[in-house]
Amino acid sequence: MSEEYIFGWHAVEAVLKREPERLQQVWIQTGREDRRVKTVTDTLSELGVRWQVVHRKELDQRVAGVHQGVVAAVSESREWSEDDLLAMLSGSEKPPFLLILDGVTDPHNLGACLRTADAVGVQAVVVPKDKSASLSPTVRKVACGAAETVPLVRVTNLARFMRTIRDDGVWLIGTAGEADSTLHQADFTGPVALVMGAEGKGMRRLTREHCDLLINIPMLGHVDSLNVSVATGVCLYEALRQRLA
């Protein structure tokens, strides 16, 4: 069975809580003896998962990033397919609430988007198979556990997927700086997918053409755009505000 590394306390605790069967081994930096560490190590011992206290240098050699003193080897998570997502949506009593990211290649941005998606109740984040960041240890670390709760669905043909869910009644709302409508004029209360483009280039032409509505985020300052993860957070929380109301 192939394995991958995750790091950071939130990411490791999320796997421990939701998918403990994936844990192969955990390494914890020497010098950590607080309650959080004891809770984790007690649980690992109960589950029969190997864990070991090591010097920071060994953790640094295993992963590239701020590991916070904990690294875990886990079996690879099963990647959701387009069919998996469509089956989940058809069997859900809740109206679809999706996030589509077109061309977001920075792992920090993808991780931040997953974290916000989890916070507002997004059912899945959809990305194209090409020109998108993968579910790397860095993404999992930035997502603070959300990578283990929000399915990341990679689709071969994003435009075709958008057509499919639109035919099923999902309203596709895309963001574009030149759009006439603003974020606050859009209706997010029903079955909806928010479509965000890559920072700088924005959405690709085909992606844009498959949107039902294009909106902009009102901006009063001198800069003309926001980081894609920040813009996603702004839009998703407006959607959540409407859906709660």
For residue 29, give the amino acid letter: Q
Nearest to 119 by CA among 141, 95, 135, 97: 97
Residue showing tokens 């958008």: 162
Cβ atoms 172, 166 nearer than 8 A: yes
Query: Does the annotation list 23 as a binding residue?
Result: no
The reply to whether 226 sits in an annotated binding site is yes
Strand positions, DSSP E, the chain: 3-7, 23-29, 50-54, 70-75, 97-102, 124-128, 152-155, 171-175, 181-182, 192-197, 213-216
Determine whether the annotation assigns residue 152 to a binding site: no
Q: State the first-to-last Cα distance of the chain, in angstroms, to the nearest integer.
A: 46
Binding residues: 197, 217, 226
Binding residues for S-adenosyl-L-methionine: 197, 217, 226
